[in-house]
Structure 1
């Protein structure tokens, strides 16, 4: 996501952005945002490929609240693909995309915090944030009401996140791992499912502050067409 600041940076907005950057640079490494910009003679520049690589809630509000959108030219927005916006509809779509990504990042962070920055799968040792995903139980696109609810999330490493998304395993009402039978009944004893998932069947996920909501877990059962209660 690249947002150019050229041509619309008013003096007040310029000062606010500089303050944001300076505060960001003072943060610890784990909390610091990966933001690339160029500042020369107290003026923000977009030369040398300067851009925002991440936009959090604070930065989004600085840029887009209080009708600042009306001062942003369409040419200042690009998609991840690098294709420039050509009309107001494309411009609005870019803004919506930024909002979605900011919301997803915030949700992911809250979910990982809820599980103490560990993969909640039993016996999994991944506990570095870069290896973790704040996964939705009910998909982001399937239900607007559940998007921000931390009880709709699981902190999983990328391998277990992929298996959960595919429906290779789910959770039962006691928050235990249950492997989808259609995956392990047809695989040999050396497969990933047999060697890494089945040994954890009936083990509970790791402790968290707020347990996932059972109604969301049941939604996962419906989506993958597997109910561990039957």
Structure 2
């Protein structure tokens, strides 16, 4: 039994496999960029190497999915390698499904049982965040913060409370971490003209912080005004 498999989520493990089979990244880069673990020049990447070896993925398979069809590989694979490929295929299918939902396309023909519901949700969250950052041109809608690691795909009506609108791009706004926190906690919302509308908790400090801020509209899919009303009525009053 590989001692690292149970230490990471299914999503993290699949990201490791994908980074190796598709992107052709080194063990060290995957360990630092995907798992967020130290990967020194001497001996770095050991954790990733062990995860990949559990699925019988070694050096000859680095970047293999850039040149070979995954369905053909699955036909000829056995054991844990076959299982890993099937899960990666399921990961790809879930990415496609999420992209189709975001674009308003039909997803009835995409049936996926190889990965867990939690992993599917994580894939959907990632694809929505990717899309939202793109349409807001990788900048907070209320300030000039433009560093991706400081930007949040902020749901208007929270993910946990409205399954129907989870991947609705009109239910999300690109905000920096500070503005996302204030929005999420009901210190402010946006009115029907996308002007800042303060919640009852907003004191003069919060108002002074936000009073000169103007909403920067996305390239497409403006926030849904009805969902903004729900947000204000539910979290700001």
TM-score between the two structures when normalised by the length of structure 2: 0.57
Do residues 116 (structure 1) and 119 (structure 2) align? Answer: no
- Bigger strand fraction: 1
**Equivalent position of 1:217 in the other structure:** 228
Do residues 2 (structure 1) and 15 (structure 2) align? Answer: no
Alignment of 1:1-230 (within 5 A): 2-3=8-9, 21-25=20-24, 34=34, 37-38=48-49, 44-45=53-54, 62-63=86-87, 95-121=116-142, 124-184=143-203, 187=204, 191=205, 193-200=206-213, 203-226=214-237
Q: Secondary structure at 1:21's aligned position in 2?
A: helix
What is the distance in 2 between the residues matched to 1:38 and 1:139? 38
Closer, same or farther in 2 for the Cα pair 1:198/1:140, shift >3 Å? same
TM-score between the two structures when normalised by the length of structure 1: 0.58
Deviation at 1:119, TM superposition (A): 0.3
- Bigger helix fraction: 2
For residues 171-211 of structure 1, what are the alpha-carbon distances to aligned partners after superposition, in whole Å with 9 as ceiling and x for unaligned?
Answer: 01111112224422xx4xxx3x14311233xx333443221
What runs of 5+ residues in structure 2 fail to find an aligned partner? 1-6, 11-15, 36-46, 56-69, 71-83, 91-112
What is the distance in 2 between the residues matched to 1:18 and 1:139? 31
**Equivalent position of 2:61 in the other structure:** none
Contact 1:176 1:205 in 2 (8 A): no
Deviation at 1:113, TM superposition (A): 1.2
Root-mean-square deviation over aligned CA pairs: 3.7
**Equivalent position of 1:75 in the other structure:** none
Closer, same or farther in 2 for the Cα pair 1:19/1:156, shift >3 Å? closer
Give the length in aligned residue pairs.
162
